[in-house]
Amino acid sequence: MGTPDFSVPALDAVHAAGHDIVLVVTQPDKPRGRGRKLDAPPVKKSAIRLRRPVIQPVSLRDETIRQTLRTAQADFFVVVAFGHILTQTVLDMPKHGCINVHASLLPRYRGPAPIHWAVINGEKETGVTTMMMEKGLDTGDILLKAAEPVAADDTAGSLHDRLAVLGARLLCQTLDGFAEGTIRRVPQDHSLATYAPLLKKTDGLIDWQKPATLIESFIRGMNPWPGAFTFWGNRRLKIFRTEATAAATTAPPGTIIKSAANELTVATGQGRLAILEIQEASGSRLPVSEFLRGFRIAPGDVLD
C-alpha cells in the first residue's frame, strides 16, 4: 500500500527480494498539469511495470474493497506513504499484521511531513523506522531503525530521495527478520514523541523576523514543495537557495541591504541572508545574477 515516489523503491525492493506481492493498493488517478489529464500515481506505474495486480480504492471502507483485501490472504500489509487511514478492521486482516515504513526516527516526527520538518528544524540526523501499525498515528511498536545524516545543504527533496532508498532497504531487512525470527517489537516512549504536521502552500511564506539561519533551514525544508516565498510589492517571489551570515545589520527585517550584479542580501531578525536562487511567479528558477538582469531590486526595498 503506497502512492507517491517515496513508496516506489520499497515496492521495487520487495519485488527484487523475491517476496510474493499478491496485491498493490494505491490512490486513484488524479488530474495533473495544465491540461488536467488523469495521471496514475507512481506506485501504480511501478506495479504495472512489475506486472503486479493493482487496485485504486477511493475508500477502504467500501465492502467490495475489503473483500478484495481479505481474499488476498496476505501475511503482511506493507504501508509506505499510502495516504489512506487504515481502520482496525483493515489492520486486523493480514496474518501477521501491518508494517509501516516511516521517514523519521520514531517517536520523533510522527505525522505526515517528517522529512520537511527535520530540515526546517535544522536536525543534524534523521532516518527511517519500520513499525507495526495500530490505530494511533505512528504510535505502533518499533521494529527496526536506520539513521541518516542531514547535510548542511540538504533540501526536503534531496533528503526524501535518500530516505526512500534507505526505507526500502530497511523494509527488506524487517521482512527477513520476521522470516528468521529475529525481530523484536519495542514499544515507543510516547513521552519523547514530536509531531510533523501536514504542510499547505500558504505555509511557505517567509518570516523575515526570524534569524537568518532559521530562515535558511526553512527555505531548504520547503524545497521543492510547497516552496518558500515572499512578496516584493505585488510580485510573488519563490526562493530556493540562500546563504546565512551572522553579520549584524540595523535595517528592519525584510529590507534589501545589498543589491549588486550578482548579489541580493536581505536583513533578518538576526543576521543577513544572501539569496542565491530565485523565481518570479511567471518566470523560471534562476541564479540571482540572472534574475537581477531583468528585475531592479534596490537597497531599501522591503520583502514582505
Domain ranges of the chain: 5-192, 201-294
CA-only gyration radius of the chain, Å? 22
pLDDT given for residue 261 in this prediction: 86
pTM value? 0.96
Q: Which secondary structure element, helix H or strand E, spans residue 65, and what is its range?
A: helix 63-71
Find cell 520583502 and name the residue. 303
d(C-alpha 264, C-alpha 289), whole Å? 9
Q: What does DSSP say about strands 54-55 and 24-25: parallel, antiparallel, or unpaired?
A: parallel
Question: What are the C-alpha distances in Å from 128 to residues 20, 103, 149, 166?
Answer: 24, 4, 11, 7
Pair 34, 21: CB distance under 8 Å: no
Quick check: helix, strand or coil at residue 222?
A: coil
Question: What are the C-alpha distances in Å from 184 to residues 44, 129, 139, 181?
Answer: 32, 13, 16, 8
Least Cα distance to 20 among 57, 50, 56 occurs for: 50
pLDDT given for residue 15 in this prediction: 98
Which CATH number applies to 5-192?
A: 3.40.50.170
Q: Identical fold at 5-192 and 201-294?
A: no
Pair 208, 257: CB distance under 8 Å: no
d(C-alpha 78, C-alpha 98), whole Å? 6
d(C-alpha 303, C-alpha 208), whole Å? 8
Pair 125, 118: CB distance under 8 Å: no
pLDDT given for residue 69 in this prediction: 98
**Along the 304 residues of the chain, how does pLDDT read in single tens digits?**
999 999 999 999 999 999 999 999 999 999 988 888 999 999 999 999 999 999 999 999 999 999 999 999 999 999 999 999 999 999 999 999 999 999 999 999 999 999 999 999 999 999 999 999 999 999 999 999 999 999 999 999 999 999 999 999 999 999 999 999 999 999 999 999 999 999 999 999 999 999 999 999 999 999 999 999 999 999 999 999 999 999 999 999 999 999 998 999 999 999 999 999 999 998 999 999 999 999 999 999 999 9
Least Cα distance to 156 among 69, 272, 241, 236 occurs for: 241
Quick check: helix, strand or coil at residue 3?
A: coil
d(C-alpha 97, C-alpha 46), whole Å? 24
CA–centroid distance for 127 within its chain: 12
The yes or no reply on domain 201-294 and CATH 3.30.1330.200 is no
Hey, how many other C-beta atoms are within 10 angstroms of the C-beta on 90?
Answer: 22
